[in-house]
A and B are shown apart, each in its own frame.
Chain A
Amino acid sequence: MAVSATLAAIAVLLGTAALAIAIHRRPFATVLIYCICLGVCLVLLALAGTSLIERGPVQHLTLPIGLPWLGARFRIDALSAFFQVVINLGGAAASLYALGYGRHEEAPGRVLPFYPVFLAGMNLVLVADDAFTFLVAWEFMSLSSWALVLAHHHDRENAEAGYIYILMASFGTFALLLAFGLLAGPSGQYAFGDIRDMAHAGWLEGLVLVLALVGAGSKAGLVPLHVWLPLAHPAAPSHVSALMSGVMTKVAIYGFIRIVFDLLGQPRWWWSLVILGLASVTAVIGVLYALMQRDLKRLLAYSTVENIGIVFIGLGLALAFTANNMAAPAALAFTAALFHAFNHALFKSLLFFGAGAVLTATGARDIEKLGGLILRMPQTAFVFLGGVLAISALPPLNGFVSEWLMFQAVLLSPDLPQWGLKLAVPAVGAMLALAAALSAACFVRAFGIVFLGRPRAPEAATAIETDSASRASMFTLLGLCLAAGILPGLLIDAIAPVAAGLVGQSMPPQASISGWSIVPVAESRSSYNGLLVFGFITVSTLVTIQFIHRFASSALRRAPPWDCGFPSADPATQYTADSFAQPVRRVFGESVLLARDEVDMSPPGDPRPSRLTVTVRDVIWETAYAPISNLISRTAEQLNHLQFLSIRRYLSLVFGALIVLLLGVAVWA
């Protein structure tokens, strides 16, 4: 029942896409299409939410479409339902936001038809129950998002981003195709149920793990496969950026969990070592690059890379515990990972919406041109600040809870028997803490430069507050961030059936604990009560304000800034984004970031201005991708000569090729 209702809703989304093609020139098209998407997302959210909370049975459905001997199989279990909640929550928020934001779109015909297909594709991946349906849905998702990235294709940067995206997406799908091929075995059992029941050889499982890491990891943005992400995510319109960063990466995580936790069977301990290594590097590299960006949306995209790293750290720990039959800690780590995935969908969408609002209001993506927007856009600034606190893992918001759970999981890992893990996990814990701290620095910089200070360019000085639909969407997301932060027990209990299905156990039920605390293992070990922390902070703030207003002077005078006696009216004297990042650039400087600060100081008496040039290059791009790309272009150049040969040479080439082939046949026989 739930499956057919879900599929019907997805069909409605596809129909909406067809409708969008027909009516995209009409003035009401934008509102109509996004309204339908919002409605469908809410329906899907309600369906998935009820099946997750009621812990209903796993539901199957086979439709006679797709490959003739296979059909299309669909299935909704707790894992699918949880990710459907994440995706449709993000989808609903993006559709609501787009009701306002979408009106600024210059060419709605390039966005409206693909947007519902994108939503449909993501939902379809989650309910697919055989490899063929999964891959088709996956490609639907990739191609529609690619089309959305190219919505503003006249911009040369966007066209380039789209090109790299389609290359990486095809590469990833190819890896997944091979992974499923290996899983299906020589008899071609493509249904997930059959794959689950089969036993696989050890080397094959390792190969599938690597392929899944490449396939799903490239979509999620795992280093070193993240290069497309900071290019493609910001290129799309902001509500689509939010969907790609906040939501599509979650579909990739779902794909990884489905293959590695569900289909592959009992994990080996060294798998977790590979994943933990990649994930912790991803987390730190992602946030370091985020800290260096001047484009607000690109900064957010790099921060997505970081958060994906954090989710994968949780998944790696869960695998390590599962491999050693430690079900309770595995449940804790797995819950932490899913909790963080949920949180990231909320606050990253919120931040992208805020960036979109800033972009609409000022037209500037470069944060060095912004500043002082808190006065012009107070409500956007407020919600953005909320998102900043959430993503920086600060209590009482939700980002802190998932990182806290992750630290608790790290603290359980000395019981792991393998030495490799014993030595690696403390370092992973340190990297996790480093990523969290750097993320706070990164978002203080982003908020401080964009919203605080004085306007650095006229665009920022004349900005106006964004429209009401966008604000409603952002405030809803902020409310959800706060709710997940102060009542985390509810979410942990909602994740419980997912963990029980995949790692064999779930965290102890949290709803029965008095006072809404969360207790991962035992109360003597650790507990956290978001509600009380929130209450404490609120009460002590109010008490302080009351006290100060009762007993202290309430006189207030506005005056020019003090600035040690030398205030300058020129906004260029403010700290810039680059100067804010300079200490971190210097500390992590040349090795990780390939950062160069070149100072060109004019000699005394020379009126020429001095110049400071800062270059930050992506070390992964330089070391892994640039050589490949160079090799390909050089080979292509060489082969290019073949285009301009005389007929004699072509004939001799054909003749030579024939001889070689015949020789080959002769030797083979």
Chain B
Amino acid sequence: MGLILDLAVQGVQMVLVLALAPLLLGLTRKVKARLLRRQGPSLLQPYRDLVRLARKEVVLAENASWLFRSGPYMIFAATWVAAALVPTFATGLHFSWTADLIAIAALLGTARVFLALVGMDVGTSFGGIGSSREMMFASLAEPAMIMIVFVVALVAGSTQLSHIAIFMQEHASLRVSLGLALVALVIVALAENARIPVDNPATHLELTMVHEAMVLEYSGRHLAVIELAAALKLLLYVSLIGCIFFPWGIASGEAGPTAYAIGVATYLVKLAVGGFLLVVLETSIAKMRVFRVPEFLGAALMLGLLGTLLLFVSRTF
């Protein structure tokens, strides 16, 4: 019985993240439009976009290889697996012991490497510029992420997300190191999701694009899969911040239906708040020049390193 329930929770989680990801994207677009005093598209517009893209024919560059055609599925699968391993509404995920936070970060790394590779496949200059910049950002964002994992793991005594969430629920306290890690994680999340101030998701000005430049040659169903993967990644980071730093309401252990209901409800609230704060941040600052980004990400790396050092010095920080 327990096994079936666990499997059900895991299955629900996988479907839930997939279903909610475009909604979160829609929410951010809507809120952003409202903050700019525009009407904005409907909350459901991302779903409609995905359906529209999926119905269209694929226009493939003449020299595109098998990697170009299989890349979107690899990117999507790696992101989806990573997203499925982050506890959203319940910690009792059956497969949570499969991979810890380091592995989740590395799975996102797999997705990114494929994205950067497909960006170079057709041999256009924009694809190259996107891949090159993406890998430069990643070369600082990834170590920053690992440092954040170190901080959290040293506090909670585990790199398993379920254990971290339970620990944070039970021993919640204000710590300097966790504060540093939170700021660093927000910076990493902004960079990884190609949000302002690192990249502009709405831009179509070629020289400022990073993420959009890599997927420039995609169309139809391939583009739909990539867009969905990008939305999933945003949801993953919001869930991750929620699960580590604001683990309230997540159902843990032998939870009943009420606990699950509360878990889902608080999760939805967290997503909404996270999306709202993201948009407020985005509208209040301008996009950086590309070569300011390394400093921005370097700050995240240093914050993470500082947090880790503090914890090495004393576990009480």
Contacts and interface: CB of A to CB of B under 8 A. Distances in A.
Nearest to A407: B102
Given A452-B65, A532-B98, A540-B81, A574 B125 contact: yes
B54 interface: yes
B142 A584 contact: no
A404 B138 CA distance: 18
B67 A452 contact: yes
B159 A411 contact: yes
B75 to A, nearest CB: 10
B74 to A, nearest CB: 6
B80 A540 contact: yes
B73 A563 contact: no
B271 interface: no
B158 A433 contact: no
B73 to A, nearest CB: 5
A359 interface: no
Given A453-B121, A551-B54, A537 B81 contact: yes
Contacts of B315: 414
A392 interface: yes
Contacts of A411: 150, 153-154, 159
Contact of A448 (B109, B117, B305, B311): B117
B143 A414 contact: no
Given A541-B73, A561-B63, A563-B216, A573 B125 contact: yes
Interface in A404-446: 404, 407-408, 410-411, 413-414, 422-423, 425-427, 429-430, 433-434, 436-438, 440-441, 444-445
Interface string A507-540: 0000000000100000111111100110011101
B223 to A, nearest CB: 11
Interface residues of A, number: 87
A532 B95 contact: yes
Contact of A559 (B55, B59, B159, B225): B59
A564 B126 contact: yes
Which size class do B's interface residues fall under?
Answer: 35 or more
Interface stretch (B129-137, B191-199, B247-255, B262-270): B129-137
Interface string A352-390: 000000000000000000011011001001000100110
B160 A527 contact: yes
Residues of B contacting A: mostly? helix
A378 B65 CA distance: 9
B217 interface: yes
Q: Which of A371, A552, A584 has the most CB of B within 10 A?
A: A552
A448 B131 contact: yes
Interface string B148-159: 011001100111
B60 to A, nearest CB: 5
B76 interface: yes
A458 interface: no
Contact of A557 (B59, B133, B159): B59
Candidate in B95, B97, B147 with the most chain A CB atoms within 10 angstroms: B97
Contacts of B81: 533, 536-537, 540
A260 interface: no
A422 B206 contact: no
A423 B220 contact: no
A430 B109 CA distance: 16
Interface in B298-317: 301, 304-305, 308-309, 311-313, 315
B128 A524 contact: no
Nearest to B311: A414
Interface string B205-219: 010000000001100
Contacts of A541: 73-74, 76-77
Q: Which of A374, A426, A564 has the most CB of B within 10 A?
A: A426
Contacts of B150: 407, 410-411, 426, 429
Given A527-B160, A587-B136, A574 B312 contact: no
B154 A414 contact: yes
Nearest to B127: A575
Contacts of B128: 448, 453, 574-575, 579-580
Contacts of B113: 388-389, 392, 394, 440, 444
B224 A552 contact: yes
Contacts of B99: 395, 528-529, 532-533
Given A395-B99, A427-B305, A544-B225, A552 B54 contact: yes
Interface of A: 371-372, 374-375, 378, 381, 385, 388-389, 392-395, 400, 404, 407-408, 410-411, 413-414, 422-423, 425-427, 429-430, 433-434, 436-438, 440-441, 444-445, 447-449, 452-454, 517, 523-529, 532-533, 536-538, 540-541, 544-545, 548, 551-553, 555-564, 567, 571, 573-575, 579-584, 586-587
10 smallest A-B Cβ distances: which pairs? Answer: A575-B128, A453-B123, A555-B57, A433-B143, A448-B120, A583-B136, A437-B142, A433-B146, A441-B135, A552-B54
6 contacts: A422-B313, A437-B139, A525-B159, A527-B98, A527-B100, A558-B62
Given A556-B220, A559-B59, 13 more contacts: A374-B65, A429-B150, A434-B139, A437-B140, A452-B121, A525-B159, A525-B160, A532-B95, A533-B81, A552-B55, A555-B220, A579-B128, A580-B135
